[in-house]
Structure 1
Amino acid sequence: MVSEHHETTSEDMALQNVNTSSQSIPCTDSTIAVDAGGSVETGRKESDPSGNHVALCDKESDLHLTQPSNDMTFTTLPGTSLHEQLDADREKNDFISEQDAAFHERMPTLCSHTECTADDVMLMCLSLGFRHNLSWVAIVDIMKMINSIYGTKKVSATKYKLMQRLFERGDFNVDYHYYCEKCCVYVSQVDSSKGNVVCNFCKALVSDPKKATYFASLPFEPQVKKLLEDDGMGEMALNYRFSRPTVQEGDLEDIYDGSEYRNHSSPGGILSVPENLSYTFFTDGVAVGKTKKSMWPIYATINELSPRERAKHVLLVGLYYGGKDPNQRMFMAPFVKEANKLSTEGLTWNHRGRTVKSRLVPLLCVTDSVARCQVLNMQTFTAHCGCTFCEQKTTRTVKRLKFTLPEERVVERTLETYKEYLVEAHARQDEVQESKRQYRGVKGPSSLGSLLYFNLCTGFSVDYMHNILLGVTKTYFELALDCSRSKFWNVPENERFAMEDVQSAIDKRLKMIRPPTAISRTPRTIKDCGCHLLLQKLVSRNDIEEAHRLFQEFTYSYQKYFGPEHMYYNIHLLSHVAKGALRFGGLWTHNSFIYESYNRQLLQLCKNPFRVVREVSRKYLVMKALPRLLDSFASTENTLFYCEDVLERKLVRFKRCDSCILLGASAGKDVGYIGVVLQFGNLRIVKSEEICGQCIWIDTVCGVYVCKMPYGCYGD
């Protein structure tokens, strides 16, 4: 087993025999083989002058010397040896095993013929409930059915016991806040020990169980801490922005290349410290069912994660539900308070055995035009000074006030002028007419005015989804395909049937597009319903200038052909798109797509029309905690496999190492950067560039494997 050029020590032999049942991996300096059960194998070698290396032979138990392979690469973690890593892993695993053993002693199996415990049943019922959008009552009824099958109480089949068991460690505590729906003012925090709670202004009872109106503030700090303490996420948050590959110096490849992030990361800036992080937050209303009531969430994403991981890890930090839009100063107050604490005091989290202290600062707020006016406490875009980015005044046309092409240069809003206008608006609060209680669009203090490190003028951008796709594009096609403009299509004027033929021809062309299955938003007909330069992964300064010029040409042609009466606010916003790209990078770094997709998940969690906030917030925390709950409560592999299968494999535990994915419980180990591929049972190491991290399909959990896929478009 040892060649003439390799001296084996007793320590090496002990390391090689950690687990003889798992496969071995060849390496240049040291290797680790990881399987789904958590076992680790290692090997060491010393290269002779000819460059011989240890390789994997046909038998799992044999190691021998063979000719070198240039494809083999492996590096251990900087500053640590392989033995130090293994010793640290053993101590960690021993501690976890002791905790698990003590835990399972308290939870006996359901009977002598099964290994499942009551917690396994609870996890499987929760997975089944989330997969099929079941209510809490349905989930509890399933657990009651299991008790009926056994003829005795095996599972605590009550919602209270279920929540108590899931969050007995007190990881997350949701705070609920009463507000008066009539006055739209904050009343107090919900406290079950208090009696009746009334509004200080109208004296209305706001704590009536059947008519109580309240919103929730979910803990921001614990969610960020749990996310960062994941080995992969914490490592990425600390290093990705510095180690990411760049193509062209000076171009905008991500949000870090924008002017706003560079201002914070310049010497002396808060983001110049590698441990400090930034985040983007979002708020907008979403209609609930066919009622007039709407739900307003507050989401946050960590910018220091890769774009792919940002979309996966969206944090819910606030939730409102009511028949009216929320008073933003009331709704945002708990979030602003906790955000200021994170930006000044920071949070401490554990990363690979060391304590890291990070401060989080807000960088960008993503909203649509309606929500942006409400958050800034400014006049809407239908008013005389309704633009939140500049001071252009609207022009009266045959169809109300519109943003026609300006004759003079437009002045941009700045933080200094905003403060001046705010003072003037405050002096006008005693005016009888409400329209006169503002000054140049500013009505009063913004709900984000006290948010530290956030600029109210440069911290917003034009949203690509709402303002361009759902705004400009939709409006343009509605006007262009109107029968009164048939002359644009060379058909007889006012010929309705001829225009229908034009629409059918366009629909046919669109439906002929056959994108891969990974693209969820496929082309639709137009009846359902220069940006390309700013949507590239690599946006140059010349691209931004060219896009701005094309937007100006489009705006001029739009007003020329359709008239000033159709110059809507979304058309005017095209003049501000390029500035957002300069501040935050390409449009794909700061749009609403990822947040709007999470709105759909929140709507699916809503089953009780009377306690929407409480139900959605609780279910959200349980859903986000499912992977952690599986690690804590699952006692058998069958439970893990069932939950992963029911939830369409969303709970597969893996670690991404360079361009490969390691699956299984031991994937959490620090195994360095390697490229592994398993083909028909033969495990070998290949060049890392041969495996694209975007092109790995997770199918089933079975031993150690990573599938090597050809380059192309695949799903997540």
Structure 2
Amino acid sequence: MEYKLYLQHKRIIPTATKRRWSDSQKGFRKHYKTWLQDPMHQDATSNCEEESSSHCNKPPHHSTDDTSESEEEEWDELNTTLHHNMQGESDNENEQNWHMTPPKDPTMDVEGHGNMDNNADENPRAVKDKIYPTARITKEESQLSILSYALRHTTTKSALGDLLDLINLHCPEGTNGAPNSLYMFMKEFDCNSFEIVYICPTCHHYFGNEIPANCASCGSEPGDKNSLIESGDMFMKLSIRKQLEEKILDSEFKTALDYKWTRVKSSPDSVQDIFDGAMYKSVDLLNDPGQFNLSLTWNVDGVPIFKSSPFHIWPIQVVINELPPDMRNKHVLLAGLWFGASKPEMNYFLQAFVDECIQLEQEGLLVQHRGQSTQMRVFNLVCVCDSVARCSVQNTKQFNGEYGCNWCYKKGEIVAKGNGFTRVYASQQRDARPRTHSQHFDDVKRAVETGTCVNGVKGPSPLMFLMYFNMILGFSFDYMHGILLGVSRQFTTLWFDSMYHGERWYLGRLVTTIDQRLFKIKPPVNITRPPRSVRLRKFWKASEYRNFLLFYSIPCLIGILPSDYLEHLLLLVQATYCLLKDDMSSHDIDVAEHLLKTFVSRFERLYGKCHVSFNVHILEHAAQSVRNWGPLWCQSAFIFESHNGTLQKLFHGTQAVPEQIVNSFSLFQSVPRLFSTVYNGSVKKTSTYFVERMLRGYKLATNCVKKNKHNISGLTYTKSTNTKGGVSVTRAKHSC
């Protein structure tokens, strides 16, 4: 009680009193160290947060039943003195040793791991690199943790700068702490790995990195770089070479590229992946076990980024085919980014991308493979996109124009529909011969000479300069847009839209009954979206249309939809299932092709000629696309559409949107390299688990955090798991 009285009356503490208190502290400290070394009491120490502070800090001999009230009070007084600085003489060394139960790390509680930091055996250099002498993390670990936090929560630059200031307030003055400014923090990371490519604001002629005084095409003065950036007459180009070089440094990524040689096939002729397609096999440099080459599948599509503005981004995204299917969606490369209120001039937008692809085809890049340096060449083989983007990339007429099909010469015809007209592709039309690569070049030549469209071809495309890219078969059939968001959505409109209330197929009056059946279905865990009412069909995602077509439609519509319409629907369900199998034979593909052709031919008789849309017509080309490029799931746009959603989260505000997206993407891509550099296979520390928790589930930052043999920064590779772009099957590789 002496100490409290002196503090209350603010009296000067006599030297004798301070000496008596110091002796008391030394005696207790000696006893406390002995008690702390006892293993039986170390477990009790970790549970102190569950008890009150006055009891959890007591040594055992003070907590027995025969302890007197006076001893309890003495302990309370002494415990109070341990948490205050004494006036007058103080022993700093003693104060540093008075660590009662250390606070528990919340990250450890979440992950369920103990504290694995071992500060006792750290070398002097590790101590020097710490943000301050008694800290648990080094400067590099601190920066990586801050970066992972900022990426996880999509922190703005202003918020990140404030976070750095806040961290520095908690660090002792004169220590490493956090960088003093956002500029110094970002300087530690390579986030400017892009080029700005300029185009003419008048005629959209391609300039490249330098702006001429006058445009060579129209003769106008384009202006300076700042004016072109402000007007949006430019786009971002990212180097595929640099992204590949950084990923190749990861030994696990490099090992995964041998997947096509290590996989086990049920039979030599079975079709299980893109490697079994005829077009892939036609490239000898990709089928030689002595060569270490790669092939690419890419996509370009418009993504709206504002709800009240017409501005879009158009990213060029690339996937490496040689990776295992469960890893492809975790290593998507970004090759270019267009931002504007209108569609890009596709020929100019693709020019920079094609130039680098040509360089990768011819020169490749030097890598270490199997203990020796080898030249790895990269081939651009497949383009996956919807019908709108496909026509722009191929430089042909849109699907609603004459000769709008990208794979055959069917012209189509105009018929009345509702209050207007539409172009349909009836199965009885003649001249449905398939297009070929050589004939496309002839059509391009004639279109350039005459200045008119020839068989739907407007003119040349930069893709024609790629040696191994087929201008017809290089565009695969995308079942996400063709079947799910195309024919399946069209079916739900025909069945439930009141516009067709007088037709035999109309089911709008039985929506309640169908919903009751739908809600009784309990899908397995690998179907991530539960069934939603058909009244909400305009909000359905592609995966929901996939689930409805393959799993729900027949049980929900049997006995409700007329039998001839139900049998017609079964043709599409069975054919789609066959082409999505993870192991199919040539006979399966032939059966699916026959089912689809029968489906298309009956469509006109059942639903009318005006409903034979372009999406219905291109079903006839689906089976051939599988012969060329493997099952439908490995040539779908699910990967790219999912990644589009990620890109939408990489910017804040409305200024310099493409720069924000590209910088954030580069930061995400740098995380694996930083992670391996900072931790370098060492024992996991507190900060390691924090970074894992921040980046778990983020596809852009994958391959940096691993747990056992699974990559916990993305979809877990487990058996019979299929979450994106495929159906419920027995192989985890359908996760793409």
Query: Shared fold by TM > 0.5?
Result: yes
- AA aligned to 1:515 is P
Q: Would you say the 8 A contact 1:548–1:578 is kept in 2?
A: yes
Q: Which residue of 2 aligns with 1:279?
A: 296
Q: Would you say the 8 A contact 2:316–2:335 is kept in 1?
A: yes
Q: Secondary structure at the match of 2:453?
A: coil
Distance 2:426 2:358 in 1: 40
Distance 2:150 2:689 in 1: 16
Q: Which residue of 2 aligns with 1:71?
A: none
Tell me by how many angstroms 1:469 deviates: 0.4
Distance 1:406 1:146 in 2: 72
Q: Would you say the 8 A contact 2:673–2:704 is kept in 1?
A: no
Q: Secondary structure at the match of 2:380?
A: strand
Q: Secondary structure at the match of 1:279?
A: strand
Distance 2:515 2:710 in 1: 44
1:542 has 2:587 as partner? yes
1:343 has 2:355 as partner? no
Question: Identity, % of aligned pairs?
Answer: 28
Q: 2:404 aligns with which of 380, 386, 397?
A: 386
Distance 1:655 1:625 in 2: 16
Q: Secondary structure at the match of 1:207?
A: helix
Q: Which residue of 1 aligns with 2:269?
A: 250
Cα-Cα RMSD: 3.4
- AA aligned to 1:608 is G
Q: Deviations over 1:564-594 (max 9, x none)?
A: 2222111111111111011011101100001
| CA 1:503–1:242: 2 relative to 1, 3 Å | same
- AA aligned to 2:521 is I
Q: Secondary structure at the match of 1:640?
A: helix
Tell me by how many angstroms 1:157 deviates: 4.3
1:113 has 2:113 as partner? no
Matches within 5 A, 1:142-221: 142-150=163-171, 152=173, 154-167=177-190, 173-189=193-209, 201-205=219-223, 207-208=226-227, 210-221=230-241
| CA 1:648–1:518: 2 relative to 1, 3 Å | farther
- AA aligned to 1:694 is T
Distance 1:103 1:535 in 2: 56
Q: Which residue of 1 aligns with 2:259?
A: 240
Distance 1:166 1:109 in 2: 19
Tell me by how many angstroms 1:485 deviates: 4.3
Q: 1:566 aligns with which of 595, 600, 611?
A: 611
Tell me by how many angstroms 1:512 deviates: 2.9
Tell me by how many angstroms 1:450 deviates: 1.1
The structure where strand makes up a greater share of residues is 1
Distance 2:447 2:668 in 1: 45
Tell me by how many angstroms 1:416 deviates: 1.5
Matches within 5 A, 1:428-439: 428-429=450-451, 437-439=452-454
TM-score using structure 1 length: 0.71
Q: 1:508 aligns with which of 499, 509, 516?
A: 516
Q: 2:527 aligns with which of 519, 524, 545?
A: 519
Matches within 5 A, 1:549-698: 549-633=594-678, 637-648=685-696, 661=709, 694-695=718-719
Q: Would you say the 8 A contact 1:196–1:207 is kept in 2?
A: no
Moved more, 415-424 or 370-379: 415-424
Distance 2:623 2:207 in 1: 42
Q: Secondary structure at the match of 1:321?
A: strand
| CA 1:271–1:503: 2 relative to 1, 3 Å | farther
Distance 1:315 1:663 in 2: 18
Q: Deviations over 1:90-112 (max 9, x none)?
A: xxxxxxxxxx999969x743322
Matches within 5 A, 1:411-430: 411-429=433-451
Q: Deviations over 1:645-675 (max 9, x none)?
A: 222376675779xxx72899xxxxxxxxxxx
Tell me by how many angstroms 1:601 deviates: 0.6
Q: Would you say the 8 A contact 1:539–1:585 is kept in 2?
A: no
Distance 1:600 1:482 in 2: 29
Tell me by how many angstroms 1:514 deviates: 2.7
1:458 has 2:458 as partner? no
Q: Secondary structure at the match of 1:448?
A: helix
- AA aligned to 2:691 is C
| CA 1:397–1:419: 2 relative to 1, 3 Å | same
Tell me by how many angstroms 1:272 deviates: 6.2
- AA aligned to 1:307 is P
Q: Would you say the 8 A contact 2:494–2:505 is kept in 1?
A: no
TM-score using structure 2 length: 0.69
- AA aligned to 1:256 is F
Q: Which residue of 2 aligns with 1:133?
A: 154
- AA aligned to 1:207 is N
Q: Secondary structure at the match of 1:363?
A: strand
Tell me by how many angstroms 1:401 deviates: 2.2
Q: Secondary structure at the match of 1:459?
A: coil
- AA aligned to 1:639 is S
The structure where helix makes up a greater share of residues is 2
| CA 1:242–1:116: 2 relative to 1, 3 Å | closer
Distance 2:475 2:697 in 1: 36
Tell me by how many angstroms 1:412 deviates: 0.7
| CA 1:525–1:102: 2 relative to 1, 3 Å | farther
Number of paired residues? 551
**Larger RCO (CA under 8 A, 6+ residues apart):** 1
Distance 2:696 2:608 in 1: 51
| CA 1:712–1:359: 2 relative to 1, 3 Å | closer
| CA 1:259–1:713: 2 relative to 1, 3 Å | closer
Q: Would you say the 8 A contact 2:280–2:286 is kept in 1?
A: no
1:261 has 2:280 as partner? yes
Structure 2, gaps ≥5 residues long? 1-121, 541-574, 722-729
Structure 1, gaps ≥5 residues long? 1-99, 430-436, 492-498, 665-691, 698-710
Q: Which residue of 1 aligns with 2:112?
A: none
Distance 1:196 1:142 in 2: 47
Tell me by how many angstroms 1:315 deviates: 1.1
Tell me by how many angstroms 1:301 deviates: 1.4
Q: Whose radius of gyration is greater, 1 or 2? A: 2
